[in-house]
Amino acid sequence: MPGPLVIGRYCSIAKTVRSAPINHPFDAITTHPALYERKFGVVENDIHYDDPQVIEDDVWIGHNAMILPSCRRIGRGSIIGAGAIVTRDVPRYAVVAGNPAKILRERFPTELQQALEESCWWMLDLQGLRDLVRDHPDLAFHPSVENIRAERWAERTGQ
């Protein structure tokens, strides 16, 4: 059995995304699942990873992306392009695509990333997000360091 999958808040994951929980043992006598799945009667226990695969908050994963077992963490605010084969961890706010997936760019400049991290906006419930859009649509749709830092996030998120 694979390790657990942890998915954060406000993630957009296409229905066709796949996550491979474990690799075939390519250095063993055979790559057949009989060496890692007990249902075949060869091994007593399923082989699994103890650490979870983590998809942090506000991640967008496009159609037909494949997350391989060597990727244990997909960082907050990142975007994974359609058809990407993700073979390693994805940093926060990175835009990745391809086979293997490579960083194409950062979603936001570093200072804006820091302001977003400090805000913890993803802790808003849907009503809080609705209120934010109503009260400050410019912040919701065109965030800047200034408008993020001017907001009273602790009051909105209850943090």
24 is catalytic: yes
Measured at the CA of 3, the angle between CA 105 and CA 90, to 5 degrees, comes to: 5
d(CA 89, CA 20): 14
Identity of residue 11: C
- Most distant CA pair in the chain: distance in Å? 62
**Residue 123, class by beta-carbon neighbours within 10 Å (0-12 exposed, 13-18 middle, 19+ buried)?**
middle
Q: Map tokens 């830092």 to a residue.
A: 149
CA atoms within 13 A on the CB side of 86: 32
What sections of the chain are H helices per DSSP? 110-119, 126-135, 137-141, 145-150, 153-157
Of the residues 24, 48, 136, 142, which is catalytic? 24
Annotated catalytic residues are 24
